A and B are shown apart, each in its own frame.
Chain A
Amino acid sequence: MIAPPIAGLLDMPHQSLAGLVQALSGLGELVGQGLARINLIAAQAVTQSADEGAGESMVDSLWAWLDRIKEGNGDPGAGLQAWADTEKLPTLISIVVFGILMFIYQRQAKAGKEINIRRIAGLDALDEAIGRATEMGRPVLYVPGIDEIKEIQTIYSMMILRHVAQKTAEYGTDLIVPVRDSVVMTFAEEAVKSGCMDAGRPDAFVKDNVRYLSNEQFAYCAGVAGIMAREKPAANIMLGMFFAESLILAETGFMSGAIQVAGTAKQHQLPFFVAACDYTIIGEEYFAVTAYLTKEPGLVGTIRAGDFTKIIGTALIVLGVVLATVYAETPGLTWHDVILRLYGIDK
Chain B
Amino acid sequence: MKRELPILLTVLCGLGITMAFFSSSAGDPDDLPLGWTKAVNSELLAWALVFFSVAFILGISNLVRISLKTISSRGEDWPYKAVMLIVLFGYLGIGLMEIHQQRYGFFGSTEDAVVGIAGQGERAMRDWVYFKVFVPLQATMFSLLAFFIASAAFRAFRARSLESTLLLTAGAVIMLGQVPGGDELTFGYAGRALAFTMTYINGAGQKAIIIGATLGVLATGLRIVLGIERSYLSE
Q: Given A98-B222, A251-B151, A251-B152 in contact, is the A208-B229 Cβ separation under 8 Å?
A: no
CA distance A272 to B62 in the complex (A): 31
| Inter-chain contact B27/A99, CB cutoff 8 Å | no
* Residues in chain A near residue B187, CB distance under 8 A: none
Given A287-B219, A290-B231, decide whether A182 and B59 contact each other with a Cβ distance below 8 A. yes
A337 within 8 A of B: no
CB pair A152–B217 under 8 Å, yes or no, is yes
Q: Are A158 and B232 in contact (CB under 8 A)?
A: yes
Check A313–B216 contact: CB distance below 8 A. Answer: no
Does A310 lie at the interface of the complex (its beta carbon under 8 Å from any beta carbon of B)? yes
Chain B, 91-117, CB within 8 A of any chain A CB: none
Determine if A193 and B234 form an interchain contact, defined as CB atoms under 8 angstroms apart: yes
Q: Which residues of A, 214-264, contact B by the 8 Å Cβ criterion?
A: 215-219, 221-222, 226, 230, 244, 247-248, 250-251, 254
A309 to B219, CA, bound (A): 11
B33 CB to closest chain A CB (Å) equals 6
Q: Mark A99-117, 1 if CB is under 8 A from B, else 0.
A: 1001000100000000000
User: Contact flags (1/0) for B1-30 with A, using CB distance below 8 Å?
Assistant: 000000000000000000001111111000
Contact B209–A191 (Cβ < 8 Å): no
User: Is A84 in contact with B152, judged by CB distance below 8 angstroms?
Assistant: no
A283 interface contact, C-beta 8 A: yes
**Nearest chain B CB to A245's CB is how many angstroms away?**
8
Q: Please report the C-alpha to C-alpha distance between residue A142 and residue B59 in the assembled complex, in whole angstroms.
A: 18
Contacts of A283 in B (CB 8 A): 208-210, 212-213, 216
B213's nearest neighbour on chain A, judged by CB, is A265
B221 at the interface (CB under 8 A from A): yes
Is A208 touching B22 in the complex (CB atoms < 8 A)? no
Residues from chain A with Cβ under 8 Å of B145 in the complex? 244, 247-248
A218 to chain B, nearest CB (A): 4
B51 with A218: CB separation less than 8 A: no
**Given the known A-B contacts A250-B152, A284-B212, A306-B215, are A208 and B33 also in contact in the complex, defined by CB atoms under 8 Å?**
no
Q: Is A61 an interface residue (CB 8 A)?
A: no
Chain A residues, Cβ within 8 Å of B77: 226, 230
Q: Quick check: is A279 within 8 A (CB to CB) of the other chain?
A: no
Which B residues are CB-close (under 8 A) to A219?
137-138, 141
- Inter-chain contact count A-B, CB under 8 Å? 192
**In the complex, which of the residues A84, A183, A197, A212 contacts B62, with contact meaning CB atoms closer than 8 Å?**
A212
Is A222's CB under 8 angstroms from B218's CB?
no
Report if A77 contacts B (CB, 8 A). yes
Q: Distance (Å) between the CB of B140 and the closest chain A CB?
A: 8
Cβ of B149 within 8 Å of any chain A Cβ, yes or no, is yes
1/0 per residue, CB under 8 A from A, across B191-235: the answer is: 000000000000000101111110111111111101011011111
A95 at the interface (CB under 8 A from B): yes
**A213 CB–B CB distance under 8 Å:** yes
B216 touches A88 (CB 8 A): no
B156 at the interface (CB under 8 A from A): yes
Whether the pair A275, B153 counts as a contact (CB closer than 8 A) is yes
| A282 within 8 A of partner (CB) | yes
Please choose the segment from B63-71, B118-126, B178-186 that sits at the chain A interface, where 4 or more of its residues have CB less than 8 A away: B63-71
In the complex, how many residues of chain A place their beta carbon closer than 8 angstroms to a beta carbon of chain B? 80
**CB atoms of B234 and A191 under 8 A apart:** yes
Report A257-312 residues with CB < 8 Å from chain B CB.
265, 267, 270, 272, 274-276, 282-284, 286-288, 290, 298-299, 302-303, 305-306, 309-310
Q: Does A322 contact B (CB under 8 A)?
A: no
CB of A275 within 8 A of CB of B56, answer no
Q: Is A76 an interface residue (CB 8 A)?
A: yes
Among residues 128 to 150 in chain B, which have CB atoms less than 8 Å away from a CB atom of chain A? 134, 137-138, 141-142, 144-145, 148-149
CB-based contact B141/A95 at 8 Å: no
A108 to B228 Cα, complex, angstroms = 16
Whether B215 pairs with A221 at a CB distance below 8 angstroms is: no
A25 in the interface, Cβ–Cβ < 8 Å?
no
| Contact between chains at B59 and A185 (CB < 8 Å) | yes
Chain A's closest residue to B21 (CB) is A88
**Are A309 and B141 closer than 8 Å at their CB atoms?**
no
A65 interfacial by beta-carbon distance below 8 Å:
no
Residue A211 is within 8 A (CB to CB) of chain B in the complex: yes
Residue on B with the closest CB to A182?
B59
| Docked CA distance A191–B230 (Å) | 11
A residues near B (Cβ < 8 Å) are 76-77, 81-86, 88, 91-92, 95, 98-99, 102, 106, 148, 150, 152-153, 155-156, 158-159, 162, 181-183, 185-187, 190-191, 193-194, 197-198, 208, 210-213, 215-219, 221-222, 226, 230, 244, 247-248, 250-251, 254, 265, 267, 270, 272, 274-276, 282-284, 286-288, 290, 298-299, 302-303, 305-306, 309-310, 313
A77-B31, A81-B24 known; 6 other A-B pairs, CB under 8 Å? A83-B33, A84-B23, A88-B21, A102-B219, A185-B59, A197-B235
Q: List 26 A-B contacts (CB under 8 A).
A: A76-B27, A77-B31, A84-B34, A88-B21, A106-B228, A159-B232, A182-B52, A182-B56, A183-B52, A185-B58, A185-B59, A194-B233, A211-B63, A212-B58, A212-B62, A230-B76, A247-B145, A247-B152, A248-B141, A265-B213, A265-B216, A284-B216, A288-B216, A302-B223, A303-B219, A310-B215
Q: Which 4 A-B pairs have the closest CB atoms?
A: A287-B216, A182-B59, A284-B212, A265-B213
